[in-house]
Structure 1
Amino acid sequence: MIDKLEMFIALAQARHFGRAAEAVGVAQPTLSAAIRQLEEQLGAVLVLRGSRFAGLTPEGERVLGWARRIVSDARAMREEVRVGRAGLSGTMRLGVIPTALAAASRLTAAFAATHPEVQITILSATSIAILEDLDSLRVDAGISYLDNEPLGTKATLPLYEERYALVMREDHVLAGRGSVGWGELGEVALCLLTPDMQNRRIVSGLLAEAGVSVAPRIETNSTIVLIGHVLTGGWATILPLGAAEIFLEHGPLRAAPLTDPDAHHRVGLIAPAREPQMPLVAALLAEAKRTS
């Protein structure tokens, strides 16, 4: 049953029989047969089928929630037994919003030093994608905003508060300022994160509140690309101070805090709300409490 539920979760995630089969490492006929067997066992049609996958039935949507809980519990049980026998090891998969990657690195470096047998995979993703990946069991934990979008039923641990700054070259006309008001950015050539990023939605909201309409010519989902454009001269970007610090240590960049308002948002660890937690997630939460 567990194997069939895992295949069902993979199909709901991939929305394609071939890709789902590839994801779980079986042939497509094997996956299709497993889904039909699951339907027979439950006495309900779970998948809408035409010439290809066409979605889940209402019963399928309900079963998907149960499948995720059951598979998560089964994985936790196996992990608990394995850790009790061999100690903390395995792979920790962590989804992180781009503006929190520097903070994530500090946390995972401390975690890796404490738990040398654990491999860590850090994936940059939007806040919405992180929640979806947690629900779909693609990541074990995430680092994202805690107070700007609904998180659903999640365990959370605040890490820091994000505040914003205008990042520019030292020869920029605003580089000598101790601070810059949001309302002064109307004439500044800005490159910003893409609108699917929660940071961009926060920034756009603050600009709109200040009466500033901005249509940036450069948009990207990478802070590295933003800084690359700022370094060419003429451009400026808006980043959290924590995310900007790593770029300010060397090179010709300056950051001026943005004020009026002095906005801030909480960023922290997000994990499935379950008890007991997966051993790796429990260890990460403990490390975050110790280091934050």
Structure 2
Amino acid sequence: MIDKLEMFIALARERHFGRAAEACGVAQPTLSSAIRQLEDQLGVQLVFRGSRFQGLTPEGARVLDWARRIVGDARALRDEMRSARSGLSGNLTLGVIPTAVPMVADLTAPFLERHPAVHVRILSRTSTEILSGIESLEFDAGITYLDNEPLGRVTQVPLYAESYRLVCGPAFPLPETGSLGWDEVARLPLCLLTADMQNRRIVNQHLAGTGAPASPSVESNSTLTLFAHVMTGRWASVLPKKLADLFAGTGRLRAIPIVGPEVSHQVGLIAAYREPHTPILTALIEAARRLEEPAG
């Protein structure tokens, strides 16, 4: 039954029989047959069917909650037995917000040094997608904001406090004060992350507090795209200090503190609230705790 529950979870996530079958590595008729067998075993209809997937029935939504718990526990059991037999090994999938991607190696490098038989897959996703991916078992864990929007019931470990810098070219016209207020930033030609990114919602929040909400002429879900536009000298951007310093260190860009007020938000590791965690996830959480920085 575990395999059928895995396919059902994939179908609920993908909302498409073909994509779910591809994600599970089976043919579409095999997945459709497994879902029907699961319905027969449980005695309820799980999926509204037409010419295409039309959603879960109320019973299907309830079964999905159970399926995630059962499959999560089954994966933990398999991982623990494999670890007991041959040491820590296997796969770990991390969802990471784009602004934290350059810093993720601070966690994964020492983790993999201790556990070289683990294979880590890192995917850049929005904070909302990370929460959804952890819930649907697509991600084992995520790196995201901890304190700006509700996370629900998750295990969390703070990693660092994210503060903000204006990033611009060397010749970009700015007052020679060494820092800027949010009100000054609001009046500049900006390129920013898209509105589905929590970093953008944070920036919007602080700019709106000045009475001059952000009105960027360029938006992207890629920080590299923002840096490419900033390097033309026509735009500036607001990005986390650690990310800004990474590029400013080349001398091709400037990273200017934003004060009045200077704000920060916690970024950290999150995982589903489950005890016990898989051995791999337990080791990752321990690695994150070793890296944990005090807030501020």
**Do both proteins adopt the same fold according to a TM-score greater than 0.5, normalized to the shorter chain?**
yes
Q: Which residue of 2 aligns with 1:227?
A: 227
1:1-292 equivalences in 2 (<5 Å): 1-174=1-174, 176-292=176-292
Give me the whole-angstrom Cα distance separating, in 1, the residues matched to 2:92 and 2:177: 42
Give me the whole-angstrom Cα distance separating, in 1, the residues matched to 2:186 and 2:71: 51
Give me the whole-angstrom Cα distance separating, in 2, the residues matched to 1:166 and 1:88: 42
CA gap 1:140/1:174 in 2 versus in 1, 3 angstroms: same
Give me the whole-angstrom Cα distance separating, in 1, the residues matched to 2:39 and 2:183: 58
Secondary structure at the counterpart of residue 8 of structure 2 = helix
Residue ranges of structure 1 left out of the alignment (5+ in a row)? none
Moved over 3 A (4+): none
Give me the whole-angstrom Cα distance separating, in 1, the residues matched to 2:138 and 2:124: 13
Conserved 8 A contact 2:47-2:55: yes
Secondary structure at the counterpart of residue 36 of structure 1 = helix
Q: Deviations over 1:189-222 (max 9, x none)?
A: 1000000000001101111111113221111111
Give me the whole-angstrom Cα distance separating, in 2, the residues matched to 1:238 and 1:210: 15
- Following superposition, the deviation at residue 175 of structure 1 comes to 7.0
Q: Which amino acid aligns with 1:222?
A: S
Secondary structure at the counterpart of residue 189 of structure 2 = coil
The answer to which of 188-197 and 15-24 deviates more is: 15-24
Q: Which amino acid aligns with 2:9?
A: I
CA gap 1:177/1:102 in 2 versus in 1, 3 angstroms: farther
Secondary structure at the counterpart of residue 232 of structure 1 = coil
The TM-score normalised by the length of structure 1 is: 0.97
Q: Deviations over 1:202-244 (max 9, x none)?
A: 1011111111132211111111111111111121100010221
Give me the whole-angstrom Cα distance separating, in 2, the residues matched to 1:176 and 1:95: 39
Secondary structure at the counterpart of residue 144 of structure 2 = strand
Q: Deviations over 1:20-77 (max 9, x none)?
A: 1121122222211111111111111110011111000111111101101100100000
Conserved 8 A contact 2:159-2:291: no
Conserved 8 A contact 1:130-1:142: yes
Give % identity: 59
Conserved 8 A contact 1:177-1:256: no
Secondary structure at the counterpart of residue 231 of structure 2 = helix
Q: Which amino acid aligns with 2:160?
A: Y
Residue ranges of structure 2 left out of the alignment (5+ in a row)? none
CA gap 1:149/1:173 in 2 versus in 1, 3 angstroms: same
Give me the whole-angstrom Cα distance separating, in 2, the residues matched to 1:129 and 1:70: 22
Conserved 8 A contact 2:143-2:268: yes
The answer to which of 32-41 and 166-175 deviates more is: 166-175
Conserved 8 A contact 2:79-2:90: no
- Aligned residue pairs total 292
- Following superposition, the deviation at residue 102 of structure 1 comes to 2.1
The TM-score normalised by the length of structure 2 is: 0.95
Secondary structure at the counterpart of residue 11 of structure 2 = helix
